[in-house]
Amino acid sequence: MKIESLPKSNDTVLGSLPKLFVVTAREPGLGLKSSTLTYKEADARFSNLLDSSEYRLGMQAVDRVFQAFDFPDIYNGKLPYRLIFPADAFKTYLEIYVPLFDPGSEPVPAKDVFVVETPDGQGYLSRSSFWSAIIDGVSAVRNNQSLILDGKVVNVGGVQPCFRNEVKDVRPGWRELGFLQADIELAGLTDEKRNKNWFDKTAITQLVKALESINIPRSTINIRVNNFFQILYEVLGDKIGFLEKEIFGLDIINEMAPSKLIGNNDEFVNLQKSALAQIDIWLSEGKLSENAEAFLIALINTGNYDEQLLKNYYPKAFESLQNLNKIVEDIQRESPDLKISIDPLSVRAGTPGYDGTTMQADVISNDKVFPELAGGGAYQKAAQKSWETQFDETPPENFYMVGFALGLPRLNTVLNSINTE
């Protein structure tokens, strides 16, 4: 069923800006470097992406997921296609990142975000991975909150242009030139009927459906799930700051996952050494307990969680792992032909804000491995904070959101590879 109202698109705001300035936020200290981007350039990229094959691919995935989950109590709505966001969106994102999990820290944006400002300092923000969920997704739910208050579920999705200040080896420079990403978010109020596991399991099922809908064979799909925030970060403890955990998790542990998957042993070993060196630093600073040290060394050397250690010393983390096991078991029982497993090295899907189950999707076809083509996770705290910041009101305590994104240029590359085999 379709929801009636969605937030209006701000596409037309570009037309009022004679010139834009792109500011990149690179460092935790917010050292900003700026370069100019004219309106003509931005508008051309914005329009060209809308006419691309990736856009059609993404909308096909969104439409098929909506069709497959068109139940009387699940309401579907399209997210707006837009390049930039109002200045207060930047403030929203800053406020929900670090301070959300570490109140004593200064707010730090994602390191690859482009901030577009007018010469008078009134800023506008280009969207990165998380914007559709945290700004438009939350807005769509709040504008239809009567549905979720009545026990319904809101499912929103769309395709948006993205720009990031980074270069990938796969296609040098393609992120700065702009790319497209399809986003699908599931939101509602948790209760006995639909608990967090139900939302997480449904999102994973939708991710698989989205990939299948664009002709990725189910036999080639490999789903890896984790709950780094409630397991790994719980073990690291309070003496290690949130940013330290983020850097360790995202820049070291998370990079071990694709290295292991594609069989890049040299890179994997180097990352192991970096992880062990960081552990030594924390031990010298008195930040790690003996149990945490044992857990981390086992994780780094084997790629697995020490369940017995969790059970004995970290009951909350153990409970989170058991919930994750339950999700995987339920999906395997319902879809025995789907490859899904817990990957303790898969820390996240590349975006700050996840505080629950995370998911990554790879494609493995004829010994070719294409890692991390899609992914996402649950972000309850971030969604609730976004609601509070955008609308200056407190959301329902059991308001929950989980979603995922498809990297459309990468998936297009994979499709071309599969079709030529």
Q: How far apart are CA 213 and CA 193, in angstroms?
A: 28
DSSP of 138-188, one letter per residue? HHHHHHTHHHHHTT-EEEEEEEEEE-BS---TTSTTHHHH-EEEEEEEEEE
Answer whether residue 401 is part of any domain. yes
Which H or E run includes 262?
A: helix 254-262
Answer whether residue 253 is part of any domain. no
Answer whether residue 345 is part of any domain. yes
Render pLDDT for 385-421 as a digit per residue (tens, 0 to 9). Answer: 888 877 889 999 999 999 999 989 889 889 988 877 6
In this structure, which amino acid lies at residue 347?
A: V
Radius of gyration of the chain (CA): 21
pLDDT higher than 50, residue 16: no
Mean pLDDT, range 153-161, rounded to an integer: 89
Whether the Cβ atoms of residue 405 and residue 183 lie closer than 8 Å to each other: yes
Answer whether residue 133 is part of any domain. yes
Mean pLDDT, range 212-241, rounded to an integer: 93
- Sequence-ordered strand ranges (E) for 190-297: 221-226
Q: How many CB atoms lie within 10 A of CB 122?
A: 10
The CATH number of the domain holding residue 176 is: 3.30.930.10
- Sequence-ordered strand ranges (E) for 278-398: 339-342, 358-365, 368-378
Answer whether residue 70 is part of any domain. yes
Render pLDDT for 78-112 as a digit per residue (tens, 0 to 9). Answer: 887 766 665 555 555 555 555 556 666 555 544 55
The model's confidence at residue 113, banded by pLDDT at 50, 70 and 90, is low
Q: How many CB atoms lie within 10 A of CB 249?
A: 19
Q: How many CB atoms lie within 10 A of CB 241?
A: 16
**Torsion angle, CA of 408/409/415/416, rounded to 10 degrees?**
160
Considering only 21-25, 70-74, 156-160, which range has the smallest mean pLDDT? 21-25
Q: How far apart are CA 82 and CA 10, in angstroms?
A: 7
DSSP of 369-401, one letter per residue? EEEEEEEEEE-HHHHHHHHHHHHSSPPPTTEEE
- Per-residue model confidence (pLDDT) at position 236: 94
- Sequence-ordered strand ranges (E) for 265-304: none
Phi, psi torsion values for 211, nearest 5 degrees: -70, -45
Tokens of 78: 């399209």
Answer whether residue 219 is part of any domain. yes
**Torsion angle, CA of 206/211/217/220, rounded to 10 degrees?**
-90
Tokens of 363: 């494609």
Mean pLDDT, range 213-241, rounded to an integer: 93
Mean pLDDT, range 198-202, rounded to an integer: 97
The model's confidence at residue 10, banded by pLDDT at 50, 70 and 90, is very low
How many domains, in total, are found in the chain? 1
- Mean residue pLDDT of the chain comes to 80
Mean pLDDT, range 153-163, rounded to an integer: 86
Residue positions counted in the chain:
421
Answer whether residue 246 is part of any domain. no
Render pLDDT for 328-366 as a digit per residue (tens, 0 to 9). Answer: 999 999 999 999 999 999 987 545 578 899 999 999 998
Domain boundaries, position 152: 11-231+305-420
Which H or E run includes 230?
A: none
Answer whether residue 247 is part of any domain. no
